[in-house]
Amino acid sequence: MSTFGSAFRVTTYGESHCKSVGCIIDGVPPGLALTEADIQVQLTRRRPGQSKLTTPRNELDQVTIQSGCELGYTLGTPICLTVPNQDHRPHDYSETDLYPRPSHADYTYMQKYGIKASSGGGRSSARETIGRVAAGAVAEKYLAEVHGVEIVAFVTGVGAIQVADADLQALLATVTREIVDATDVRCPDARAAPAMHEEIVRCSAEKNSTGGIVTCVIRNAPAGLGEPCFDKLEARLAHAMMSIPATKGFEIGSGFAGTCMRGSEHNDAFEADGLGGLRTRSNHSGGVQGGISNGQDIYFRVAFKPPATISQDQATATYAGEGGVLAARGRHDPCVVPRAVPIVEAMAALVIMDTVLQQNARTATRQLLRPVPDDLKAIKPF
């Protein structure tokens, strides 16, 4: 489906080469100061044509708020955001009428619907993520103002080039978007970034592509987010991240590396936080325990495959099963991770916003009840 979330619900629309793309957001609290400028920042970070590492498609991705706001404030009614497609060239994809592109969605869309968009990837195109990024910017505005939430994603892998684990742990505590955007590859590690840049340039020159990894940290997320048992916070985050085009893997906290540790190493022991509560001495859990946020930083990694559309001739088959050679045209990223950074941030914001509104509703309804007698309270927060 094209709708994500429940309390904060986002429906995206549009294809790669239609007239416009965008979204409708339902559940935005009334009274939030909001203008196009608040949303444009993230759309500009996502837009194509911003460096020689990305697709040369030249889209300004200028957003317009069509509804749900007056005089710079949200009304609490559905917000419609639109972005026009201006530099679209549908004729660049005529060969895909005969050949499904290897590892793209052409064949599966045809199997599912019996019809597909005649140009580009349709709904499987990264152009669809514009609506996600726009909605995520609205969610981030609320989360930052009300809870001080910070969400920062950054590139930690391109092909076989990886940020060292020791450097990654330091970055999780200190990295900012300004530091991330200081390089066109969006890797804040001074040693790895130049090699990543050269690897993407090399792939582009070879008319090839490569994959990569985006790491994301969420700071100041309130404790108590996430719903047992099937909507655990890490499950919601995994759902959100794996819905992004080209994703192939997700891990949170220690992830797969945690399988090599003993429980005595992996357990995050508690200590007093000096504010009347608790914090953990380590954070192998990635800020989530029992599917619920514990107030520590939430961090995770998302793996992206090499973009499927490359400009090399590929021996494949037509829809009719006849062998042939596909010579793909069009304009495509040799590596998606530099532009995936704001998309990962947006999907993280949508998950946190949705779970915050759910938890706020639970807390508000609980506070309307008579207090629980002291002798029945199991834990202090009651």
Q: Which residues are catalytic?
A: 17, 104, 333
Closest CA relative to residue 252, chosen from 198, 224, 281, 294: 294
Closest CA relative to residue 150, chosen from 111, 178, 108, 119: 178
Closest CA relative to residue 118, chosen from 149, 97, 100: 97
- CA–CA separation, 7 vs 187, rounded Å? 34
Contact call for residues 123 and 117 (beta carbons, < 8 A): yes
- CA–CA separation, 153 vs 341, rounded Å? 5
